[in-house]
Amino acid sequence: MFKITKAEQLTSNIYLMDVVAPRVAKSCKPGQFIIVRLNETAERIPLTICDYDAEAGTVTIVFQPVGASTHKMTSLKAGDSFADFVGPLGCPSELCDEDIEELKKKKILFVAGGVGTAPVYPQVKWLHEHGVAADVIVGAKTKDLLILEKEMEAVAGNLYVTTDDGSYGRHGMVTAVIDELVAAGNQYDLCVAIGPMIMMKFCCLTTKKYGIKTIVSMNPIMVDGTGMCGACRLVVGDEVKFACVDGPEFDGHLVDFDQAMKRQQMYKTQEGRAMLKLQEGDTHHGGCGNCGGDE
Ligand code: NAD
Ligand code: FES
C-alpha cells in the first residue's frame, strides 16, 4: 500500500497529493508518469508527476477529476493509501539527456496550460537545479484556476502568467504571449508546451511560424498507460506511435493533433471503439481488461 501524506484541493477542480513511494521517487525523471489504482480491482489511472523528493521518498501528483476513478480519488485524505503506485513510466524529457553546458547556451520557453502546469514544473525545476533559467508562460481560464504560481516563480527565469478572462496577469491565451515574447526580440531555440490538446495544437502552429522546435506531452490521450489498450495510438510524422510507451513527449510539429483528438473522442464510446477496430485492426485494443475496453 502507498500512503498519502498530503491531500490538498488546489482549485475547484484540481487536486494535489504527496504519496510515499520511495523506489519511484528515487528513479523519477522529469517527463515521466505513474499509474495508480485505488484497489486491486480498480482501473489503472496514468497521471503525470508534478514533483518528487528522493530523500523523503515521496512523489507529488496533481489531477483533475474526469472519470469515476479520479472522482473517487478526490475523497482520499492524508493517511489513506493507494493499492498500486507504479512507475516511473514513459521516457524522460529529452532535456535530461542533453549536455548541461549545451543546454545553458539555449533559450528555452515552457508553455503550461491549466493542469498541464503540473508536469511542466519538474522540468523547469530540474533545469533550474542544473543552472539553466528557462522562460515560462502559465495560462489558466481564470485566476481561481491558476496553480503552482509561487513554485514556478522560484524556478523559472522569467514567469509570464495569463488568464483567458484577464482576471489575473496578462489577458488572453498562451499563444498570444508567445507572439508577444517573440515580437519583443526573444529568440527561442526550444519550446515545451504541455496542456490541453487544443492548446498544444495551437502552440505548435504558433511556434512553427517562428521555426522554434516544440515538444508536446501526449499524456491526455492515454487510458491504461501500459501499451496494451491502444487508446494512445497517434501519428507522428509518417510513423505510428503509442504515447505511453514511445512518449509521452513528441516533436509537436510532427504530431497529427486533429487525428489524435478525433480518435480520443471516438475511443470514448463502444461504437467508436468498434469503428477504430474496423479501421485499424486489433492494435486499437489489445484487451487489457482494465480500461473499460469493449465491454
Ligand atoms: P484549460 O482548458 O483551462 O486551458 C489552459 C490554457 O490553455 C488556457 O488558459 C489557454 O491559455 C490555453 N488554451 C486553451 N485553448 C487554447 C487554444 N485554442 N489556443 C491557444 N491556447 C489555448 O485547461 P485545463 O482545463 O486545466 O486542462 C485540462 C486538460 O489538460 C485535460 O484535457 C487534460 O487531459 C490536459 N492535461 C494535459 C497534460 C499533458 O501532459 N499534456 C497533463 C495534464 C492535463
Ligand atoms: Fe497507451 Fe493504452 S494508454 S496503449
What CATH number is associated with residue 75? 2.40.30.10
pLDDT of amino acid 283: 58
10 Å Cβ neighbour count for 157?
Answer: 16
Q: How does pLDDT run across 203-237, given as a tens digit for each residue?
A: 999 999 999 999 999 999 988 888 888 889 999 99
Which range of residues forms the domain containing residue 226? 221-295
Give dist(CA 42, CA 206) in Å, integer.
Answer: 40
pLDDT of amino acid 294: 43
Residues 76 and 157 in one domain: no
Choosing from 88, 109, 140, the residue where a domain stops is 88
Q: pTM above 0.85?
A: yes
CATH for 193: 3.40.50.80
Choosing from 32, 58, 88, the residue where a domain stops is 88
Q: Between 227 and 65, where is the model more confident? A: 65
Ligand 2 contact via 43 beta carbon (within 6 Å): no
Residue 30: phi and psi, rounded to 5, are -55, 140
Residues 272 and 180 in one domain: no
The set of cell numbers assigned to 127 is: 533545469
Distance 220 CA to ligand 1 centre (A): 10
Residue 287: phi and psi, rounded to 5, are 80, 50
Residues 71 and 133 in one domain: no
Structural domains counted in the chain = 3
Question: Which residue is closest in CA terms to ligand 2's atom 2?
Answer: 229
Residues 104 and 207 in one domain: yes
Ligand 1 contact via 164 beta carbon (within 6 Å): yes
Average pLDDT over residues 283-287: 47
pLDDT of amino acid 282: 63
Residues 212 and 225 in one domain: no
Helices (H) and strands (E) in the chain, counts: 10, 16
